[in-house]
Structure 1
Amino acid sequence: MTVADLLAGQHARVLAVQANPALEAKLREIGFCEGDGVQLIARGPLGGQPLAVRLNRRIIAMRDDEAAALVVEAIHG
């Protein structure tokens, strides 16, 4: 599952960043890395983009291709 697959409000933990080297570097510079907790806050009104994702205490706007590069496991409870 990836961040792009999460439902609004759902929490998850990043397992891996799987993308081409340029996109992987961009996501890591933003702050995404293995073990981080993320939450999908909302999807945009136009085709569901951009996605609003909470990473630690920040809210980040992401496109679907960026969100699909973040492999996660859902956190229940």
Structure 2
Amino acid sequence: MRLDELSAGMNAVIDHIETRTADDIVARRLGELGFVPGEPVKVVAVGPFGGDPMAVKIGFTRFALRRTEAARVILKERA
């Protein structure tokens, strides 16, 4: 499952960030912001029209992500 598929209020754990090129700037920046494997993430809110942007929370920090950026965050499957 991908982060952009979660509804507001849902929690998940990050598995990995999808890298599309050898020097993927978006993937690197997401990692620098704290989107790292094993980190819990929660969708706080989504935009009213098409759900863009999304507000997500990692630890005590909130971020606004475009849905295309959130789609790069792959979540762990629940057991």
* TM-score (norm: length of structure 1): 0.89
Q: RMSD across aligned C-alpha pairs, in angstroms?
A: 1.3
Structure 1 gaps, min length 5: none
Structure 1 CA distance, aligned partners of 2:27 and 2:73? 9
Q: Secondary structure at the match of 1:35?
A: coil
Tell me if 1:4 matches 2:7: no
Which of 29, 32, 37 matches 2:35? 32
Q: Determine the C-alpha separation between the residues in 1 that align with 2:37 and 2:75.
A: 9
Question: Identity, % of aligned pairs?
Answer: 32
Among candidates 46, 54, 58, match of residue 49 of structure 2 = 46
Equivalence for 1:73: 76
Deviations 1:4-45 (A, max 9, x none): 000110000000100331111110111110000000111011
Structure 2 counterpart of 1:55, one-letter code: I
Gaps of 5+ in 2: none
**Structure 2 partner of 1:17:** 17
The number of aligned residues is: 75
Q: For residues 27-77 of structure 1, what are the alpha-carbon distances to aligned partners after superposition, in whole Å with 9 as ceiling and x for unaligned?
A: 0111110000000111011321100000111110000111000001366xx
**Residue 74 to residue 10, structure 1, CA distance change in 2 (3 Å):** farther
CA distance in 2, matches of 1:45, 1:5: 15
